Structure 1
Amino acid sequence: MDKPVRTSGPVARAVRAVRRWTAVGTAVLTLASGTAVAASAAPAPAAVAGAAGSGTYQQVSDFGSNPGNLAMYSYVPTGLPAGAPLVVALHGCTQTANDYYSSSGWPKYADLYRFAVVFPQTGSANNSLSCFSWFDSGKDARGRGEAASVVQMVTKAESLYGSDSHRVFVTGLSAGGGLTADLLADYPDVFAGGAVDSGLPAQCATTLGAASGCQNDDQHLTPAQWGDKVRGSDPGYTGPWPRVAIWQGTADYTVRPVNGTELRDQWTDVWGIGQTPSSTQSLPGGTTLTTYDDGGGRPAVALYSVSGMGHGLAVDPGSGPDQCGTTGAYFLGALCSSYYTARFWGLGAAQLPAPGGLAVTGTTAHAVSLSWNAVSGAASYAVYRDGVRVDTGAVTGTTYTDTGVDTSVAHGYAVAAVDSSGTVGARSSTVSAGGSGTPAPACFTDSNYAQTVAGRAHQSGGQTYANGSGQAMGLWNTFTVHTLEETSPGFYVLADAGCPA
């Protein structure tokens, strides 16, 4: 549903191709001579180094069981460090991974902002137009088909490139945009954000027959009904939702502009923030940006409406920092959507400095306690064990206890500050913990009040008791001080006479 077959030669150039579309699964190109030619996918791209960036673009094999029968291509900037973000970019119908790599502008920002890009590719064996199957519940649901294959690619990329699993994003054009919305609904635990370009709401259609209606008509669903389609895609999920950018041309007659409104309704309802804009501003290319903020004042949903733009991805060729891409069939000159999407996700923002003073403050057989100095401007902190992030994204103080770890083996810990946009700053130097075979006991000296706040004790009737052992510690206040030793995970004993007790 994205672009006609590219043809070459004097005869092809002399005639004008007119597309006739039905639903999504079939299309023909009717030439002026009256000959009908079936649309087909372009050949698979070969590995290319440096064609659109300074790094390496190549196919990646053996990324999993691949139930969706997809191919995986990736672009990795030269010298990309571990812990960098990861972007998944899905092409549109009749396109290939190579088309999206060459024309979307994502390699430019991968180089500038330091992240890897995965370009999944489908083909005519899956769909006659090489469309991703956003309309097939057997292929676009959690754990199934193409959706599962894409997530396997994410896992493979994290393994190969050391990508930060907390900063994985997905974007796509048209059918790729439709699958992007499905992926955000299916795997909110995998993707921190997404961008749907000329695409459709998550789970709008579950059959090919229903696809045309989604593309062309208002579905007359309430925001809550749209939101239920997301919530039903991964029942029981209670974690944070992805932040979603929506790109829609006002003159799009393939995926009508109502889809942008429906996407807005869907994701604002999921976030529970309503459909009243938090801000509206004008951007280049006749674009109006409307944002919808979460409770903390950070944009959770953004709708980019491009005046007069038809069906395609907005690009803006040039060398400026906010310019990207190559114009062509379904890569339309307006503004660089990849630039604005990356910034919406927090990529490219100035990083906070590395925290200083990281130290191990306690070790037990199964836990390591850390502390560090505060960083100005930090909204929270990210904690890494052996290069892998282990916190849940809610460390707002300057201490952290890593539990469930075997400290008879040595581990390296580092910490980074995270700003209010979610951008992770530079990592601290690494400190070592464990590795002695028999870890030293962890002892904590603090007021009874602080011990309860830290989860080492509890209070009842104004009295304080050690967790696990239940030993009495006296009044629950900030003046009475005791030393507690953690002898096993969550089990504390009084050790005022000396630690170990």
Structure 2
Amino acid sequence: MKLNEGFLNSMQEAMTVLRTRGPAEATEVIQRALRGETAGAANETVWHDKLPGPIPFPFAEAKTKEAAPYTARDAGIDVEDRGHFGTHAYSNAAGSRQYRLYVPAGAAGEPLPLPLIVMLHGCTQDADDFAAGTQMNALAESHRCLVAYPVQPRRANPSKCWNWFKPDDQHRERGEPSLIAGITREIIAAHNVDSARVYVAGMSAGGAMAAIMIAEYPELYAAAGIHSGLAARCAQDVPSALAAMKGGKRSKAQRASTDAPQRPVIVFHGDADATVHISNAMHIVNGFDVQVDVGSEARRTDAGRRGCTVARLVSGDGIDAELWTIHGAAHAWAGGNAGGSYTDPAGPDASAEMLRFFLEHPQRR
């Protein structure tokens, strides 16, 4: 039997299942692989059908309806027809990653350099899914920005999660952070990008990795947007990751590893999130509210829309942050488009607010 990539991915998944679920479930994964079924199909059965409740990310997130194939035309906009949404690849000593890059129409003729936003998807997602759900490309077209979507492949994590909980993927110029930073630098070198307006954002596992990126590369990114994510280096392995996601008390070592804020950050989190507890949002902005007054505002929305509370924070060094608590919201991108997975169309427009926050905060040299 030829050991193709799909079979090897299934064997890797079987080992993960053996450690976390048991021999019966791991055997089922192997049997499916021998029948020629993909690792993804095995993953659907083991994680989605066997577990009684929400699926513990970082392995996979709570099951939702499968997202239909998305095109901009389906949503009534022609943004991809006007700009260019291409596929690229980047490699370094840590490995290789593909990424999608949206370049707005006419960018080559712009007299001034454009901002760049690096978007990190969540578990089980990919670049197209994340772009569809966040609608960031449409905003980039109207506000004249480039948007990059690095892709985490199944070979790197069975559920396509960024490995935010692994020590080798938590430090600059190592592992996945080096790949994401390398993609960012490659785009800056190849396009008309304003190096003072480069930002990173992410959802869930991607949000946790965005927190790592802004902590490890403050000279590269001017600000970060973290949606339903976790603080940098709040976990060192799978057990501590699951404990952090549940909102468990952090150890002294974990608290000590929390970086003082160096760059502005905007955080979104639903207070009904059963996958990543909202206390993680508080950990992300830890250090912003200890030396100065904190102002907050409650925002009322139209009937059928979610309300939210917005806290505007400032660190002792004058660095801004915003914390958006979305009332009644689960683990989903607020204000997202239903064409993508893990979206909550009833929420405030997280994409628009992130972009507004980013453009208000260019890099302070």
What TM-score, normalized to structure 2?
0.73
Is 1:241 paired with 2:262?
A: yes
Give the letter for the 1:341 counterpart: M
Which residue number corresponds to residue 177 of structure 1? 207
Q: Greater strand share, 1 or 2?
A: 1
Give the letter for the 1:342 counterpart: L
Which residue number corresponds to residue 255 of structure 1? 276
Pick one of 273, 276, 290 that aligns with 2:311: 290
How much has 1:23 moved relative to structure 2?
Answer: 5.5
What is the rounded CA distance, in whole Å, between the counterparts of 1:55 and 1:69 in structure 2?
Answer: 26
What is the rounded CA distance, in whole Å, between the counterparts of 1:336 and 1:330 in structure 2?
Answer: 14
Is 1:300 paired with 2:320?
A: yes
Any gaps of 5 or more consecutive residues in structure 2? Answer: 1-38, 42-48, 72-76
- Structure number with the bigger relative contact order (C-alpha 8 A, sep ≥ 6) is 2
Is 1:67 paired with 2:100?
A: no
Q: What is the aligned residue count?
A: 304
What is the rounded CA distance, in whole Å, between the counterparts of 1:344 and 1:308 in structure 2?
Answer: 24
How much has 1:78 moved relative to structure 2?
Answer: 0.9
Give the letter for the 2:272 counterpart: A
* Residue pairs, 1:38-49, within 5 angstroms: none
What TM-score, normalized to structure 1?
0.54
How much has 1:218 moved relative to structure 2?
Answer: 3.2
> Residue by residue, what CA displacement relative to the aligned partner does 1:281-337 show, whole Å, maximum 9, x if unpaired?
41643111111135697x711100000000011125xxxxxxxx3365311121210
What is the rounded CA distance, in whole Å, between the counterparts of 2:309 and 2:364 in structure 1?
Answer: 32
| Secondary structure of 2:259's aligned partner | helix
Which residue number corresponds to residue 259 of structure 2? 230
RMSD: 3.6
Any gaps of 5 or more consecutive residues in structure 1? Answer: 8-14, 30-38, 232-239, 317-324, 350-381, 383-391, 395-501
| Secondary structure of 1:164's aligned partner | strand
How much has 1:278 moved relative to structure 2?
Answer: 2.7
Is 1:309 paired with 2:336?
A: no
Give the letter for the 2:59 counterpart: G
**Cα 1:393/1:249, change in 2 over 3 Å:** closer
What is the rounded CA distance, in whole Å, between the counterparts of 2:241 and 2:160 in structure 1?
Answer: 15
What is the rounded CA distance, in whole Å, between the counterparts of 2:251 and 2:80 in structure 1?
Answer: 42
Pick one of 29, 54, 79 that aligns with 2:106: 79
Is 1:344 paired with 2:354?
A: no
Please tell me whether the aligned partners of residues 25 and 208 of structure 1 are also in contact (alpha carbons under 8 angstroms).
no
Give the letter for the 1:77 counterpart: P
What is the rounded CA distance, in whole Å, between the counterparts of 1:335 and 1:6 in structure 2?
Answer: 32
Please tell me whether the aligned partners of residues 135 and 351 of structure 2 are also in contact (alpha carbons under 8 angstroms).
yes
**Cα 1:283/1:244, change in 2 over 3 Å:** farther
Is 1:118 paired with 2:148?
A: yes
Identity of aligned residues (%): 26
> Residue by residue, what CA displacement relative to the aligned partner does 1:149-170 show, whole Å, maximum 9, x if unpaired?
0001111110121211111100
* Residue pairs, 1:13-412, within 5 angstroms: 20-22=54-56, 24-25=58-59, 52=80, 54-61=82-89, 63-65=90-92, 67-80=94-107, 81=110, 82-220=112-250, 226=255, 228-230=257-259, 241-265=262-286, 267-268=287-288, 273=291, 276-282=293-299, 284=301, 285-294=306-315, 300-315=320-335, 325-326=337-338, 329-333=341-345, 334-346=347-359, 393=364
Structure exhibiting the larger radius of gyration computed from Cα positions: 1
Please tell me whether the aligned partners of residues 283 and 289 of structure 1 are also in contact (alpha carbons under 8 angstroms).
no
> Residue by residue, what CA displacement relative to the aligned partner does 1:252-282 show, whole Å, maximum 9, x if unpaired?
00001111111121x517xx745x5233241
